[in-house]
């Protein structure tokens, strides 16, 4: 299957939390495709971020799809709240509950796109039995919980393996990468078959958001 267009999803985690609506508007103007929202509970990951209320408060401020990455356990009791808050995609980790297949069915049942997130130490085999339910596979190229970590090159071979799994399907699944993505690491991921990029620090710490997004999408300039 031909590679899909490259999408960039800036992660709100790296934005200035004192002016979230302005930050969201700024990245939309700068050409971002999706807004990535990292939901952390201080239990599944060792950090706390924000929940459905902030997600809902931001919804009227942008047309960008909301790519909601749930780093919470359990996730099932909160799926409807995030759907109501305006999530377009809801992504779960298989470790967040005993029945990931049921969780993905529940996300579909809420009318949202479903995603599975694979930590650096999670076997890719978790994706195989649920491929028919997935719109997105998100490969963590850092251990989840914090922005600003170093990209794990060990994930490139896993991205390539997932690309082969996806291409053996008869429908597209977005292959997204999250963690340490910047204009230098994104081209490596594109080479391995990824088509969608979460970027926190590389966008929000850059002096020019539009240039940062374009550089991730297009690869580093020489
Ligand atoms: C980490 C989050 C990421 C994080 C990425 O747990 O899932 O989305 O915001 O941040 P950077 O791009 O700075 O590595
Ligand atoms: Zn994330």
Give the Å distance between the CA of 38 and the centre of ligand 2. 5
Give the Å distance between the CA of 170 and the centre of ligand 2. 27
The Cα 148–Cα 164 span in angstroms is: 29
pLDDT averages per 10-residue partition of the chain, 222 residues: 81 98 98 98 98 98 99 98 99 98 98 99 98 98 98 98 97 97 98 98 98 87 42
Helices 209-218 and 20-29 cross at an angle (nearest 10°) of 50
Using a 6 Å cutoff on CB, does residue 10 contact ligand 1?
no
User: What pLDDT is recorded for position 221?
Assistant: 47
| Strand ranges, E, within the chain | 7-10, 35-40, 66-71, 89-92, 113-118, 136-140, 174-178, 196-199
- Of the ligands numbered here, which is closest to the C-alpha atom of 143? 1
Using a 6 Å cutoff on CB, does residue 89 contact ligand 1?
no
Ligand 1 atom with least separation from CA of 180: 14
User: What pLDDT is recorded for position 219?
Assistant: 55
Beta-carbon contacts of 98 under 8 Å, excluding residues fewer than 6 positions away, are: none
Choose one of 178, 185, 202, 215 to mutate for the ligand 1 pocket test, by most ligand atoms within 8 angstroms of C-beta: 178
User: What pLDDT is recorded for position 4?
Assistant: 77
Cis omega (within 30 of 0) for bond into 132:
no
Question: What amino acid positions are annotated as catalytic residues?
Answer: 38, 178
For ligand 1, atom 10: residue with the closest CA = 147
Give the Å distance between the CA of 199 and the centre of ligand 1. 7
User: What pLDDT is recorded for position 3?
Assistant: 61
- Angle 219-122-34 (CA atoms, 0-180°, nearest 5)? 40
User: What pLDDT is recorded for position 2?
Assistant: 44
């Amino acid at each position: 299957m031909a590679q899909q267009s490259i999408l960039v999803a800036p992660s709100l985690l790296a934005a200035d939390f004192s002016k979230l609506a302005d930050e969201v508007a700024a990245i939309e103007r700068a050409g971002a495709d999706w807004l990535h929202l990292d939901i952390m509970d201080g239990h599944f990951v060792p950090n706390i971020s924000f929940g459905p209320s902030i997600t809902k408060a931001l919804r009227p401020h942008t047309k960008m799809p909301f790519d909601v990455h749930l780093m919470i356990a359990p996730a099932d009791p909160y799926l409807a709240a995030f759907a109501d808050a305006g999530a377009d995609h809801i992504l779960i980790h298989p470790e967040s509950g005993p029945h990931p297949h049921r969780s993905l069915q529940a996300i579909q049942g809420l009318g949202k796109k479903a995603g599975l997130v694979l930590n650096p130490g999670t076997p890719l085999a978790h994706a195989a039995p649920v491929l028919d339910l997935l719109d997105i596979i998100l490969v963590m190229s850092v251990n989840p919980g914090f922005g600003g970590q170093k990209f794990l090159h060990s994930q490139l071979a896993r991205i390539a393996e997932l690309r082969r799994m996806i291409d053996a399907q008869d429908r597209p699944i977005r292959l997204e990468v999250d963690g340490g993505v910047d204009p230098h690491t994104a081209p490596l991921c594109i080479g391995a078959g990824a088509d969608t990029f979460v970027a926190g620090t590389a966008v929000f710490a850059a002096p020019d958001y539009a240039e940062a997004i374009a550089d991730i999408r297009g690869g580093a300039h020489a």
